[in-house]
């Protein structure tokens, strides 16, 4: 399951996590983002207990989006130990997202 994170909760949700975290940067008007949503949900269900999955609406949370220079969506960033480990721009397959969390 993918949970929502915000500008105010991002540090606690993502940066402070002791497990890898996948963050889906998206917006409701973005067609590819809507196509990615069920894939991200599935990833969240498959990695439960081993990693965390969050969605961040870039329109409602511009501070985090700006900090990580999000210029195209969907963008997925995998954080490990509070740092960017991998960044994927555009719609990807579930296998690619799962591999990025390994």
Per the prediction, the chain carries an average pLDDT of 96
* Rg (alpha carbons) of the chain, rounded to whole number: 12
pLDDT confidence of residue 55: 98
* Alpha-carbon distances of 46 from 23, 30, 63, rounded to whole Å: 15, 25, 29
For residue 12, whether the previous peptide bond is cis, meaning omega lies within 30 degrees of 0, is: no
Q: What is the DSSP letter of 2?
A: P
Interval 66-78: pLDDT, tens: 999 999 999 999 9
User: Does domain 3-100 sit in CATH 3.40.47.10?
Assistant: no
Residue of 30, 37, 88, 98 marked active site: 30
34 is catalytic: no
pLDDT above 90 (res 17)? yes
Q: Is residue 62 annotated as part of the catalytic site, yes or no?
A: no
pLDDT single digits (tens) 79-100:
999 999 999 999 999 999 999 9
Instruction: Let me know: does 47 contact 15? Beta carbons within 8 Å.
Output: no
Catalytic residue among 33, 43, 76, 78: 33
- Give this prediction's pTM: 0.95
């Amino acid at each position: 399951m993918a949970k929502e994170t915000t500008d105010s909760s991002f540090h606690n949700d993502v940066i402070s996590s002791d497990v890898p975290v996948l963050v889906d940067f998206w917006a409701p008007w973005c067609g590819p983002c809507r196509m990615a949503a069920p894939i991200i949900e599935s990833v969240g269900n498959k990695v439960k207990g081993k990693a965390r999955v969050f969605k961040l609406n870039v329109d409602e949370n511009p501070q985090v989006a700006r900090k990580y220079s999000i210029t195209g969506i969907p963008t997925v960033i995998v954080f490990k130990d509070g740092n960017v480990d991998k960044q994927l721009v555009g719609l990807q397959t579930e296998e690619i997202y799962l591999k990025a969390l390994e």
